[in-house]
Structure 1
Amino acid sequence: MTPLYYAVSAVLKAWHWAFDQIPGMSDGWVWVLSIIGLTITIRAMLIPLFVKQIKSSRNMQLLQPKIKELQKKYAHDRERLTQEQMKLWKDTGTNPFASCLPLLAQMPIFFALFRTIDQAAKKGGDGAKGFLTRDDAQSLSDAEFLGGRIAETFINAAHLPTQVLAIFLVIVMCATQFLTQRQLMAKNMPADALNGPYAQQQKMLLYVLPPVFAIGGIFFPLGVLFYWVTSNFWTMGQQFYVIRRNPAPGTPAFKAKQQRDAAKGKDVADDPATVVDEIVKPKPRAQPKKQTRNQRKKGGSR
């Protein structure tokens, strides 16, 4: 974790320096805005992974009819079914686990930030991690935002304002998590896909994850909760933009975009069936480059 401590603390300290130049701003506001700046930096760096996630998620949705065909065809041969599914995913450039990539990539950063704040809370200046100095760690440990101590958790809070702010952030965190997943399922999943195994997995996560995060959230310092809430809002806005501008074919969002395009006189997007066929169509083989008669003679004489 040591390299991550230095990476997280470097970004955090850079934002802290920038906000600390604003006259009259308290330490609490400076640290909260620095954590928000860290979140924005990390999420901006993860945009390529998000693009990959969107592409794979769309392909997974569009390939559900093909998956169902394979399940019927190889219902009594689980090994062959797995092989055919893997082949289909490989041919279409689809990764069924891509939806987890942004979350998995963030987890080490999340834990590094948690340890950085937690050690500052427990040890003050002696808990400095990475590029944070003793004064930085002590400032983080003592900083207050809206009456709540940034380095304290709901469980170990010494006074009520920290607990109230922690509960508020946990509720916002769970609500944004739920609404983001609900937005994806309600607007950007085809009707056929809503009854498939992929959709069932999404439905399960829709209702299971918020309570899990709520229980875990009471053990996180306020600073970590600010990171998580900011990240959720980023995900919600990013997803809203993608669904509106580039929705999956055959979804309510796709039909809404067709109506908007038609009203503006633009060409309506392709039919969903055409898009699915285009995805699963094998890539053409590269044809050998044509040669002149002299080139063929030279090649044969060697």
Structure 2
Amino acid sequence: MDPISIILWPIKWVIELILVSFHSMWSFFGLDPDSGVTWVLSIVGLVIVVRAALIPIFVRQIKSQRRMLEVAPQLKKIQDKYKGKTDQFSREAMSRETMDLYKRTGTNPLSSCLPLLLQMPIFFALFSVLNDAQHDKAGVGLMTQELANSFANSEFLGAPLSSTFIGEWNLMTAGQPFSLNVMIIALTMIILMTASQFITQLQIVSKNMSPETKASPMFRQQRILLYLLPLVFAFSGVAFPLGVMFYWLVSNFWTMGQQFIVIRNMPTPGSEAAKAREARLAKKGKLTIEQPSTTTDVAEPQPKPTTQRQQPIGKSRAKKQNGK
């Protein structure tokens, strides 16, 4: 067994446990055990369990992103300090000061990729489970030979979950019988996967970044990811089995909805989303936004108390006044 298989083995075992558990539950409720709908619902259940387990990591990601935004001005000062200096000493000094800043503030520029990186082993393990089922191979755990055959031969809208777009394309170019239905469903899901990924990144770039961040190199990296990640899905999705694409598509929808809720309720300070949230709260009367006064209130001048200096009065003069 190769090292990658050793790493994926426990993940595959857990994935099979979740899939088989949901499959048994839907079958208990009366759905056809060999139906593609039953297996697709089982994949949706897998997404919910996996993404719910990643919520604490997602919260840590948000906090880390906030810290990155706080240190963005300091990071820009370091970059401006060594701007135009290409010698090795300056490069090393800039790198050292940057790492010291990250260490001092407890920030990590790679934290935003952590949830995605944690999902990659799950994705590869699921791909391996479906690939084994496609070749009539039993899994490492609860995915028995019978369940593997059921999964591989199940159809959703007439398309086997183990089919791929590239597989049907190769059959078509070779002049062999192919399924146009599989190609249409796979192409539709690739477009939905690409669009959902693009919208998720666009939400962050367009609404949830402060002006300081948009002027930093971090914004340029986000702009690159905005177009790079959807292209990755577009080109690699043609080799994904439909079952894997269902997992990734539902996961993208979860991410898009989760990101929308976070941006709406916990936006980055100074961003357009934060201003929109303040406006909504002010409209509901839950937030008072101080506005500059349009009228100048002129206070009436108060009369100053006049204290007249009393002259000393002699005894004889005081008697005359009292006599009056």
1:4 is aligned, of 8, 11, 22, to: 11
RMSD: 1.6
Counterparts of 1:60-75 in structure 2, within 5 Å, are 60-75=68-83
- How far, CA to CA, are the matches of 1:72 and 1:216 in structure 2? 39
- Higher mean Cα deviation, 89-98 or 137-146? 89-98
Letter in 1 for 2:184: V
- Equivalent-residue separation in structure 1 for 2:219 and 2:161 (angstroms): 38
TM value normalised by structure 1: 0.84
Q: Which runs of 5+ in 1 are unaligned?
A: 270-302
Which residue pairs with 1:34 in the alignment? 42
Structure 1 residue aligned with 2:252:
232
Which residue of 2 is the match for residue 104 of structure 1? 117
User: Does 2:279 align with 1:255?
Assistant: no
Which secondary structure state, in structure 2, belongs to the residue aligned with residue 63 of structure 1? helix
1:73 shift after superposition: 2.7
Larger radius of gyration: 2
- The aligned residue for residue 181 of structure 2 is 161
Conserved in 2, the CA contact under 8 Å of 1:153 and 1:220?
yes
Query: What is the CA-CA distance between 1:61 and the residue it aligns to?
Result: 2.7
Question: Could you report, residue by residue, the CA deviation over 1:132-189 in whole angstroms, capped at 9, with x for unpaired residues?
Answer: 1111001001100011110111122341111111111110000000000001111100
- Structure 2 partner of 1:216: 236
SS at match of 1:38: helix
Correspondent of 2:221 among 186, 195, 201: 201
Candidates 183, 186, 189, aligned match of 2:209: 189
Q: Is the 8 A contact 1:62 1:193 kept in 2?
A: no
Tell me the equivalent position of 2:297: none
Q: 1:113 to 1:24 in 2, by over 3 A?
A: closer
Confirm or deny: 8 A CA contact 2:190 2:234 kept in the other structure.
yes
Q: How many residues align?
A: 267
Instruction: Calculate percent identity across the aligned residue pairs.
Output: 47
Query: Is the deviation greater in 235-244 or in 255-264?
Result: 255-264
Contact 2:267 2:274 (C-alpha < 8 Å) held by counterparts: yes
Aligned to 1:174: 194
- On the 8 A contact 2:17/2:141 being kept in 1, the answer is yes
Are residue 140 (structure 1) and residue 140 (structure 2) matched?
Answer: no
Structure-1 separation of matches of 2:279 and 2:159: 48
Q: What runs of 5+ residues in structure 2 fail to find an aligned partner?
A: 1-7, 169-177, 290-324
Task: Confirm whether residue 82 of structure 1 aligns to residue 95 of structure 2.
Answer: yes
Does the 8 Å contact 2:138/2:144 carry over to 1? no
| Structure 1: 4+ residue segments shifted above 4 A | none
TM-score normalised over the length of structure 2: 0.79
CA contact (8 A) 2:16 2:139 kept: no
Partner of 2:311: none
* Cα pair distance change 1:168/1:256, threshold 3 Å: same
Shift of 1:24: 4.4
Distance 2:107 2:287 in 1: 28
CA–CA separation in structure 2 for the residues paired with 1:265 and 1:166: 48
- Are 1:19 and 2:23 an aligned pair? no
User: Whole-Å Cα distance in 2 between the matches of residues 166 and 11 of structure 1?
Assistant: 24
Distance in 2, matches of 1:38 and 1:244, equals: 27
| Distance across 2 between alignment mates of 1:268 and 1:92 | 32
More RCO (CA 8 Å, sep 6+): 1
Tell me whether 1:113 sits opposite 2:126 in the alignment: yes
Give the aligned residue type for 1:105.
L
